[in-house]
Amino acid sequence: MPQTITLGYKALLAEAEREIETLPAADAVALHGRDDIVFVDLRDPRELEREGRIPGAFHCPRGMLEFWIDPESPYHKAVFSQDKRFVFFCAGGWRSALGAATAKRMGLAPVAHIGGGFAAWRSAGGPIEKEDLSG
């Protein structure tokens, strides 16, 4: 008998969006370069290689987020101990909504995410750097 999902991804996303701030991409672009902001890229390494990255963004694969935020974790990253505003993003805004909500529940604050993710950032004219693989 197939398993019944009682709370689907749409409900989880809607709940996360109610809990966190969603920044329009143009507003996020305006924050780029500020010392009090940390952009957190939740995409996987293949996405970064293929699409490029936001200059200066901290890369945290979504699967490591909880471990890297928690100071009690052996995998904790000091970037998450800073007194700054954390702006999460992924490719399209779904993982970052869930990730920002999780970060907020863990006590990280203030947090937000970029509505529409990296695709919206690119469309808004935000800076992007690509790795030069020509060697």
Residue (of 74, 71, 102) closest to 86 by Cα position: 102
CATH number of the domain to which 33 belongs: 3.40.250.10
DSSP conformation letters of 56-70: TPEE--GGGHHHHH-
* 10 part of a folded domain: no
Give pLDDT tens digits for 65-81: 999 999 999 999 999 99
Domain-embedded: residue 65: yes
In the chain, the number of structural domains is 1
pLDDT at 133: 52
pLDDT score of 91:
98
- Asked whether residue 4 is domain-assigned, the answer is no
Q: Is the pTM of this model over 0.85?
A: yes
Structural domain for 65, as ranges? 17-123
DSSP of 63-102, one letter per residue? GGHHHHH-TTSTT--GGGGSSSEEEEE-SSSHHHHHHHHH
Phi, psi dihedrals of residue 111, rounded to the nearest 5°: -130, 155
CA angle 57, 62, 68 (to 5 degrees): 75
Would residue 3 count as lying in a domain? no
Q: Is residue 47 part of a domain?
A: yes
